[in-house]
Amino acid sequence: MEDRADRDLRAAAMTIGIVTGGGDAPGLNAVIRAVHRAATRRGMRVVGFRDGFDGLLHPETAVVLDRANTAGILGRGGTILGTSNRGSFTVKTALGTPHTLDPSLIERVRATMHQLAVSTLVCVGGDGSLTIALQLAQAGIPVVGIPKTIDNDLSATDFTFGFDSAVAMVTEALDRLHPTAYSHRRIMVLEVMGRHAGWIALYGGIAGGADVILIPEIPFDLDVVARTVRAREDAGRHFTMVVVAEGAAPAGGEVRATLERDREAKLGGIGPMVTTELERRTGKEARCVVLGHLQRGGAPTNTDRVLATAFGTTAVGLVEKSCFGAMVALQGSHIVAVPIADAVGAPRRVSSDYYLLQVARDLGVSFGES
């Protein structure tokens, strides 16, 4: 068995490379800081790759992380390393089978790692980035994954960091929209992110007291939503708060999206559509707010800072134990290691027996089901 002294010697020879990929999420800097702190305490070095996975092709842009460049970043939004959800490594442009990474790209990653003496990559990302990480791991590159996405739609982990901050933003938006909706007796529609799953809409909608929550998992009927508005009107409630996830669609209808070649489809447009249709069907004035990237920017909440930090330090522990091809995950109150392959593939959606659906229904919230 390897003794402590051997382990210390091996750690001293180790350089971790860290890459943040995909859309940014509050907490990425907390992860970077945690990986640096935990690695340094074990005698390891950390090199940060710039601008997502394409940074692996440009060793000249990599930066050695130190106390100075990782100080004061715990509560800062975005990622000091930069990120991208397009580029040479894009393997996912839609749901279903991902593209396979070009072998020449993998060889260039190996060359970069060799040049910078990086022995392991810590890849922080959502479904797309972790699918890239998985393919690098399958090619024999030592990789550890850390799950990140505001959408919270990765399998094998109860929560991803970034989600709580996005929900906080949705809650604040609803708190601000409520008084104006009430004062003008209007319908207020808030479009939030949530490409394949309605976690943000569900949690944010409940936290902010929405009357209608429309999510990708439950195809909706606008006549039913209009009936909810009229029933509220009859009960003396002259305003209605609607939260709609960008990936929600009417029964038999399509998700609103613009297709692009080298990235996933750009979603958006469902909020304005729901607004126009509710105005037409109820005769009430309606307004739409698309919350967009306000959900992604800004400081991480304390929950996200803690989760991101725990993910970061645990990932370094996995590197030390040579537990490659694994991803850190939150299961119950434990941070565990799961195969990256378990996290990617099918998105984790709100299941029909998820307890918060019943909580919402008990409050009288409508999901627009016919």
The CA-CA-CA angle for residues 294, 176, 368, to 5°, reads 85
| Site mask for ligand F6P (CB under 6 A), range 22-61, x = bound | -x--------------------------------------
Burial tier of 307 (Cβ tally within 10 Å: 0-12, 13-18, 19+): buried
Give 237 or 266: the residue with its C-beta nearer to ligand F6P. Answer: 266
Of the listed pieces 48-56, 187-195, 214-222, 303-311, which binds ligand F6P according to CB under 6 A? 187-195
Least Å from the CB of residue 91 to ligand F6P:
15
Closest contact distance (angstroms) between CB of 166 and ligand F6P is 8
What are the start-end ranges of the H helices in 71-218?
103-116, 127-138, 163-184, 199-207
Tell the smallest beta-carbon distance from residue 265 to ligand F6P (Å).
Answer: 8
Bridging pattern class, strands 266-267 and 257-258 = antiparallel
What distances in angstroms separate CA 49 from CA 17, 65, 90, 109, one per listed residue? 7, 10, 16, 11
* 193 near ligand F6P, judged by CB under 6 A: yes
Tokens of 275: 């607004």
Distance of CA 294 to the CA centre of its chain: 14
Nearer to ligand F6P, 186 or 296 (CB): 296
Per-residue binding letters, 141-170, with ligand F6P (x by CB under 6 A): --------xxx-------------------
Angle between helices 163-184 and 302-320 in degrees, nearest 10 = 160
Angstrom distances, CA of residue 212 to CA of 195, 222, 240, 245, 247:
18, 11, 8, 11, 15
| 189 φ/ψ angles, rounded to the nearest 5 degrees | -110, 125
Stretch that binds ligand F6P, among 11-19, 64-72, 188-196, 326-334 (CB under 6 A): 188-196
Phi, psi of 242 (to 5 degrees): -115, 130
Which of 92, 148, 186, 195 is close enough to bind ligand F6P by CB under 6 A? 195
- Please say which residue, 36 or 195, places its beta carbon nearer to ligand F6P: 195
Residue 357 Cβ, how far from ligand F6P at the closest point, in Å? 20
Q: Give the range of 52-60, 137-145, 192-200, 273-281 binding ligand F6P by CB under 6 A.
A: 192-200
- 267 contacts ligand F6P (rule: CB under 6 A): yes
Nearest to 157 by CA among 353, 352, 359, 314: 314
Among 29, 83, 84, 85, binds ligand F6P (CB under 6 A): 85
Residue with structure tokens 């409630």?
Answer: 237
347 lies in the binding site for ligand F6P (CB under 6 A): no
Run of H or E residues at 147: strand 143-147
To the query of whether residue 151 is one of the catalytic residues in this protein, the response is yes
Q: Which tokens is 154 given?
A: 């990765």
Catalytic choice (54, 151, 153, 304): 151
Pick 268 or 339: Cβ nearer ligand F6P: 268
Q: What's the closest the beta carbon of residue 169 comes to ligand F6P, in angstroms? A: 12
242 or 267: CB nearest ligand F6P: 267
Q: Which amino acid is at 276?
A: T
Q: Is 177 in the site for ligand F6P (CB under 6 A)?
A: no
Residue ranges binding ligand F6P (CB under 6 A): 23, 85, 126, 149-151, 193-195, 246, 267, 296
Residues catalogued as catalytic: 151
